[in-house]
């Protein structure tokens, strides 16, 4: 199993290209099930989750073609993939595929919308809390689907097609909003989604669906209106930049010190996180090419942050910020409101010398003068990258074990950091 070895103390200088967003790529690929024409996605990142979803879609009969690289192509450019779901051969998504990745459960929406039926295993995936699928099921029921749960499978039927309805989510849910958008696009009549997720990835999926012929208005606000259409066509769509990857590398630069251009990304995708970094004493400069992040040798200021749905501070950057605050001059407080056990990185950061105490959903971080390298274990995707960030500033060697979590969400992590001067390498046993 691969490990990542880091020797701390190197400043980061140079350019890091930001990949396409994983959290938009997955629902965009699933949206390919809504049409019998080809959907071409550009700027697709090379990630383990993308490969896994290709397998799942292949099981339903989707033909996935990945464009090869030609001589002279930018090695950092995302891939282009063509998804062709001309014929759906199977409306069942089996446990052995869905259990490996939560987002694959979302295939239930386009399958029942287009085929009138779907049988999808209850999901597996991350170990960060319950994250139930009840709101996804509720949204389909509001559109007229009949739902049964049998033997660990959710069976959805809409023999005469879905029909528009009112969906009011009791709490903000990105997966629920994606599901509702896809299902409502092919439903008869108008659907109103209240308390919809406002994340940029939701807007990206809505933009792509509109290019395919859907009639969606209000994406990016808490009220989305979808007028159903009889059929969707194919289209070409470029995946938006990954705001979580952007924020992660911004915090890595803040931790190690240096001056790095984060290329092909936009500040509006993560303004709340950039504001927190500015408050911590990091220099953030938007440019035509992306975002420049710089920190001289000065110390970091402590911050107080509560994770919130977009446009608030993202839960997916909480672990990275916590790693950064271990080196702040003073005491920081981070409150996690989205996922109930998303503090699993705390024990591992403590192995590097961090001083963090937990009280319910709030972590108190006492900044320390120095961290010391140690062997640590990745527990989930975002936690694993927080250990890399801490390792960049720790004295001596840090060995991050179980990095398959990292490969689910970060493309070429060690190459991107290494190109800016980090002493980092992947070790394959």
The pLDDT assigned to 339 comes to 74
Q: Does 1 have pLDDT greater than 90?
A: no
3-state per-residue secondary structure call for 33-91: HHCCCCEEEEEECCCHHHHHHHHHHHHCCCEEEECCCCCCCCCCCCEEEEEECCCCCCC
pLDDT tens-digit readout, 324-374: 999 999 999 999 998 766 788 999 999 999 999 999 999 999 999 999 999
Which one has a higher pLDDT value, 402 or 132?
Answer: 402
Question: Residue 36 burial (CB < 10 Å; 0-12/13-18/19+)?
Answer: middle
What mean pLDDT is reported for the chain?
A: 93
CATH class of the domain defined by 3-19+242-427: alpha beta
Please determine whether the domains at 3-19+242-427 and 22-238 fall in the same fold group of CATH. Answer: yes
Rounded to 5 degrees, φ, ψ at 39 are: -110, 120
Question: Residue 399 burial (CB < 10 Å; 0-12/13-18/19+)?
Answer: middle
Nearest of 23, 21, 64 to residue 40 by alpha carbon? 64
- Name the residue ranges covered by the structural domains of the chain: 3-19+242-427, 22-238
How sure is the predictor about 317, in pLDDT bands with cuts at 50, 70 and 90?
A: very high
How sure is the predictor about 127, in pLDDT bands with cuts at 50, 70 and 90?
A: very low
How sure is the predictor about 75, in pLDDT bands with cuts at 50, 70 and 90?
A: low
The partner residues of 12 in beta bridges, in order of sequence, read: 258
Could you check whether the bond before residue 69 is cis, i.e. omega within 30 degrees of 0? no
**Over residues 302-322, mean pLDDT:** 96
**Over residues 377-382, mean pLDDT:** 82
- The angle, 0 to 180 degrees and rounded to 10, between the axes of the packed helices 243-256 and 271-279 is 10
Residue numbers in the known binding site are 22-23, 102, 131-135, 316, 338
Rounded to 5 degrees, φ, ψ at 114 are: -90, -40
| Strand-strand pairing, 362-366 and 304-306 | unpaired
Nearest of 52, 30, 49, 46 to residue 97 by alpha carbon? 52
**Over residues 55-63, mean pLDDT:** 96
How sure is the predictor about 380, in pLDDT bands with cuts at 50, 70 and 90?
A: confident
Which two structure tokens, joined as six digits, stand for 31?
Answer: 């949206």
Lowest mean pLDDT among 22-31, 334-343, 348-357, 381-390: 334-343
The pLDDT assigned to 340 comes to 66
Which one has a higher pLDDT value, 72 or 96?
Answer: 96
Q: Which residues are catalytic?
A: 126
Which two structure tokens, joined as six digits, stand for 41?
Answer: 């996605």
The pLDDT assigned to 274 comes to 98
Q: Does 252 have pLDDT greater than 60?
A: yes
Which two structure tokens, joined as six digits, stand for 97?
Answer: 């595929």
The pLDDT assigned to 246 comes to 98
The partner residues of 13 in beta bridges, in order of sequence, read: 259
The pLDDT assigned to 405 comes to 83
- The percent of residues above 70 in pLDDT, for the chain, comes to 96
DSSP class of residue 133 equals S
Which of 124-133, 146-155, 365-374: highest mean pLDDT?
A: 365-374
C-alpha distance from residue 148 to each of 118, 135, 152 (Å): 11, 15, 10
State the residue for tokens 């590398």: 249
pLDDT tens-digit readout, 282-300: 999 999 999 999 997 778 9
CATH superfamily of 22-238: Enolpyruvate transferase domain (3.65.10.10)
The pLDDT assigned to 254 comes to 97
Residue numbers in the known binding site for phosphoenolpyruvate are 22-23
Lowest mean pLDDT among 118-127, 198-207, 375-384: 118-127
Nearest of 154, 158, 161 to residue 119 by alpha carbon? 154
**Over residues 206-215, mean pLDDT:** 98
């Amino acid at each position: 199993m691969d490990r990542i070895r880091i020797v701390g103390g190197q400043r980061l200088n140079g350019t890091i290209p930001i990949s396409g967003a994983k959290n938009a790529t997955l629902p965009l690929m699933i949206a390919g099930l809504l049409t019998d024409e080809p959907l071409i996605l550009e700027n697709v990142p090379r990630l383990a989750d993308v490969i896994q979803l290709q397998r799942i879609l292949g099981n339903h009969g989707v033909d996935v073609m990945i464009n090869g690289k030609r001589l002279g192509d930018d090695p950092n450019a995302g891939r282009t993939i063509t998804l062709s779901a001309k014929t759906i051969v199977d409306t069942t998504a089996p446990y052995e595929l869905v259990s490996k990745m939560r987002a694959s459960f979302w295939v239930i929406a386009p399958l029942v919308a287009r085929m009138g039926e779907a049988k999808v295993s209850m999901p597996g995936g991350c170990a960060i809390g319950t994250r139930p699928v009840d709101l996804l099921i509720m949204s389909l029921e509001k559109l007229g689907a009949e739902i049964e749960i049998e033997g660990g499978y959710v069976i959805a039927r809409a023999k005469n097609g879905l029909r528009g309805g009112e969906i009011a989510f009791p709490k903000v849910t990105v997966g629920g909003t994606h599901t509702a958008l896809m299902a409502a696009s092919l439903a008869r009549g108008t659907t109103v989604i209240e308390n919809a997720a406002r994340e940029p990835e939701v807007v990206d999926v809505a933009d792509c669906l509109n290019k395919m012929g859907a009639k969606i208005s209000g994406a990016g606000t808490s009220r989305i209106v979808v007028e159903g259409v009889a059929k969707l066509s194919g289209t070409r769509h470029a995946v938006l930049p990954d705001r979580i990857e952007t924020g992660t590398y911004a915090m890595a630069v803040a931790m190690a010190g240096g001056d790095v251009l984060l290329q092909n990304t936009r500040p509006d995708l993560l303004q709340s996180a950039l504001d927190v970094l500015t408050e911590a004493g990091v220099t953030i400069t938007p440019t035509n090419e992306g975002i420049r992040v710089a920190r001289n040798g000065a110390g970091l200021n402590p911050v107080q942050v509560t994770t919130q749905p977009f446009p608030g501070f993202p839960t997916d950057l909480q672990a990275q910020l916590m790693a950064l605050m271990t080196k702040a001059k003073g005491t920081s407080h981070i409150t996690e409101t989205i996922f109930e056990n998303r503090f699993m990185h705390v024990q591992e950061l403590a192995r590097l010398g961090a001083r963090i105490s937990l009280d319910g959903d709030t972590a108190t971080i006492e900044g320390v003068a120095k961290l010391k390298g140690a062997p640590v274990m990745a527990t989930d995707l975002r936690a694993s990258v927080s250990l890399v960030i801490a390792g960049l500033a720790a004295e001596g060697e840090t060995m991050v074990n179980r990095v398959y979590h990292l490969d689910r969400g970060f493309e070429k992590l060690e190459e991107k950091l290494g190109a800016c001067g980090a002493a980092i390498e992947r070790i394959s046993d």
